[in-house]
Amino acid sequence: MSENPFEVKVPVGRSSSPSIRFSQKSKEETASELQTDIAVGLSNSQDILNRRSLHGINELSNDEEESIVIKFLSKFYEDPLILLLIGSAIISFWMGNVDDAISITLAIVIVVSVGFVQEYRSEKSLEALNKLVPAEAHLTRNGSTSTVLASTLVPGDLVHFTQGDRIPADVRLTDAVHLTIDESNLTGENRPVKKTTNPIIYETNDIPPVTIRNSIAFMGTLVRDGHGSGIVVATGAKTEFGAVFEMMSEIEKPKTPLQQAMDKLGKDLSVFSFAVIGVICLIGILQGRSWLDMFQISVSLAVAAIPEGLPIIVTVTLALGVLRMARRKAIVRRLPSVETLGSVNVICSDKTGTLTQNHMTVTKIWATDFKGSFNSPFLVVEKLDDNTLHHQLTKNMQKTLEAGNICNNARYSRENEKYIGNPSDIAIVECLPHFGLDDIRGTKQRVYELPFSSVRKYMAICAHSGDLNKSETFVKGATEKVLLLSNRYFDENGDIKPLTDEIRKEIGEKSHALANDGLRVLAFARNNKKYINEKENEEPSELIFSGLVGMKDPPRPNVGRSIALLMKGGVHVIMITGDSPTTAINIAKQIGMPIVGDHSVMTGDQIENLSEERLAEAIHNVSVFARTTPEHKVTIVKALQRRGDIVAMTGDGVNDAPALKLADIGIAMGKNGTDVAKEAADMVLTDDDFSTILNAIEEGKGIFFNIQNFITFQLSTSIAALTLIALATFFGLPNPLNAMQILWINILMDGPPAQSLGVEPVDHEVMNRPPRKRNDKILTHQVIKRVLQSAAMIILGTLYIFIREMTDNEITARDTTMTFTCFVMYDMFNALSCRHYSKSIFEIGLDNQMFNFAVIGSLIGQLCAIYVPFFQAIFQTEALYFSDLLHLLFLTSTVFIGDEIRKYLLKQKSSGSNGFNVNFGV
């Protein structure tokens, strides 16, 4: 059987799909049929709207979601504990206890509703995460190129793509330069496919398989090399990927390690709770209590004591935290990454665009015929006006800029009124007008292009002005690489002379001097030969060296402060760049990275000469890696992980993907990053700013501590409720809480008060704490002590009220109302104290509005349960005096006061010894 599924079975209705038809038509025929233009794209706005209404948006959507009503109703029979409660209500009704039956039924509806809202909120939060990194496309309409959402494309649109981009729709290629595309997600074939603009010729009457439609770029596939352009022929479900998508079954996403840990904790607590509840029920029946009452109490206690909402609240907390990060320009694509962020102790960052602004400007130019100015051997572009530059431009410099102009893929966007593309390309095109030069690319016809790559370290263009026999080859790239390809140079008179060792040395010194100024240096060369590169690995040769251009990319404004804060928090920051060591060191010093001697800097050549083990030993003090390739990033990550470090790695290119995947946290650039890099990464920076990484780590640490806080609240409430009923049963006392009251406590424990603790604003001092170890448990000894302290105070205070009220050994409505209200008020004060582990509420204030509303809402609900007749009947309560509420207020505040005392003692104990413990005590 063939490995290609499309050769075996074509989905119904796909026999005449657009990609099949247009793959066999020429690009001119395609443009004519779709009424578009190969050069300027679609131009008529009304026509574009009509096409969108006809073909729909360019998205693949899942089948219709299950009805929200059906989802809600399913909650009544999916949970065994809810089924037990329903059984209890039915038995009560059958035995004539109609009031109990109605009360239990209402309680079931409330409990199920709260749980459903939690899960629904979690699902919606996760859905929102999936939309944080929308697919984009480089689109030309009416001759203007811009980056737009891929969902807005319509058939007939002209799109462009380059190495690392994901194809946004099914596209008939009109231009393919060294273009190879990875179609493995569509065909199963791992080998990239070389694409051409020629229509395919298929002799048989069968449908041409996907694997031979080389004139089509398919939606969802990835550009591995080169670049191209084409006309959109199909969008959404009409694409070939759309056909596959319809046949795919939805796969449930695995849970995060933290969610799995919460599941295990929940199961362990469930087993323990069931054992205790079973003993309580058995003792109660042996004491002669009504088996129905004990059954209702036991089931209600099981619902309240078992923290079934724990994993849900964890998911909601993680998801809301991720959405909060997105507002701070850091998009986390995978929830487990949030857990890892707090453990990162090494950040490996690209220089260009992450530590720097990624806006290149040409600042210095050198050629052999320039005599120098302002005591500088270079033409200092940034210090001169246009008139001076125009007069100081030499012939060789003009040749250099001309080569830079032709070896250039920057496009002008009329919509944005600026050039878009590679920053170095943009810098060269933008500097041409200052010298009185025009962009001459429109006068040249390209014969061939060899795109820039990190391995080649240069790009080459073969072009002519109308006569193919007079083609010229232009090259730009790293100085050492261009010199290797050159054997001649333009001398001070503009004549072509042999490139001697002396001249090579002079060029190298000038390049080194530019790099010492922190500039990115590009060398330029040309010859009069026609270069087609018909043979694999063939390189242009016998080039004539023309000159050097130095470009400045200044550091981002806040990056120095961010690095200082990260280092203060125990995070080692490493710069990785393809630039020379001198350029890298210059930038590193500007942004405050520690550079101490030669041990702080390592080059790609040194990495290759060291084993992984030796590199792991030598890497300890290294702050800068220079002249590196993306392959070196993988080696660096392995060496750091070998030492036990938790590594965050930034990247933007196709070749960065392996390192991004290997790193504990892969971070891709949102603006200049390729689609391949974004998909391999765990996090995407929408502003490409290093400072955003600091914000993300801060949020990640804050989320972890918030999770600890709401677990403390939930467990202390659960333990208190369970122990309270157990003690009353063991000592032969009446049950202090009835089934309805226990269920209300469960709503508070799993509902808004608990969830609001998960969205507590991040304490900025969290960055003063060293990175958390990977295997650190959530339930630390300190957390357990805190849980037991709070639970003990709630139990003792509630038992005191219960015994004090029950003077005649007979349980009355007032007795249970006082006990019930006492427990709920304890719960609210406990929630208040759980907002921070070590900081007083008077320090952190009342900034968490969700918490404020949750507590106020819970207290209003409790007052309704006490004073509204309808709810009095359900909860079997009666109205209390104002003095009763004041008495309970003073008593229940002790759990808050006790925790404040604990925080004060902790601070006193730690002051002056360890600042980390002062803030966190963990």
Write out the catalytic residue numbers.
350
Contact 756, 851 (CB under 8 A): yes
Nearest of 580, 640, 595 to residue 615 by alpha carbon: 640
Contact 559, 355 (CB under 8 A): yes
Nearest of 410, 448, 407 to residue 178 by alpha carbon: 448
3-state secondary structure of 232: strand
Strands 346-350 and 647-651: parallel
Strands 572-576 and 624-626: parallel
H/E run at residue 745: helix 739-750
Question: For 293-315, b where at least 16 C-beta lie within 10 A, e where not — what string?
Answer: bbbbbbbbbbbbbbbbbbbbbbb
Count Cα atoms within 13 angstroms, Cβ side, for 10.
Answer: 14
* Residue position matching structure tokens 């759990």: 895
**Paired residues of 685 in beta bridges:** 330, 669
Instruction: Quote the CA–CA distance of 99 and 102 in Å, as a whole number.
Output: 5
Residue 411's identity, in one-letter code, is R
Instruction: Quote the CA–CA distance of 83 and 97 in Å, as a whole number.
Output: 19
Rg (CA), the chain: 35
Sign of the Cα torsion 504, 510, 516, 521 reads negative
Residues 799, 804, 808, CA angle at the centre, nearest 5°? 115
Nearest of 579, 688, 562, 668 to residue 624 by alpha carbon: 579
H/E run at residue 95: none
Count Cα atoms within 13 angstroms, Cβ side, for 763.
Answer: 20
Instruction: Quote the CA–CA distance of 171 and 150 in Å, as a whole number.
Output: 13
**Paired residues of 473 in beta bridges:** 462, 527
Instruction: Quote the CA–CA distance of 650 and 350 in Å, as a whole number.
Output: 6
The three state secondary structure string of 497-555 is EECCHHHHHHHHHHHHHHHHCCCEEEEEEEECCCCCCCCCCCCCCCEEEEEEEEEECCE
Q: Cβ neighbours of residue 648 under 8 Å, at least 6 residues apart? A: 344, 346, 347, 348, 663, 664, 665, 666, 667, 693
Tokens of 193: 């496919």
Instruction: Quote the CA–CA distance of 578 and 520 in Å, as a whole number.
Output: 10
Strands 496-498 and 665-669: unpaired
Residue 176's identity, in one-letter code, is A
Contact 58, 153 (CB under 8 A): yes
Phi and psi of 418, rounded to 5°?
Answer: -160, 165
Instruction: Quote the CA–CA distance of 7 and 206 in Å, as a whole number.
Output: 10
Instruction: Quote the CA–CA distance of 625 and 618 in Å, as a whole number.
Output: 12
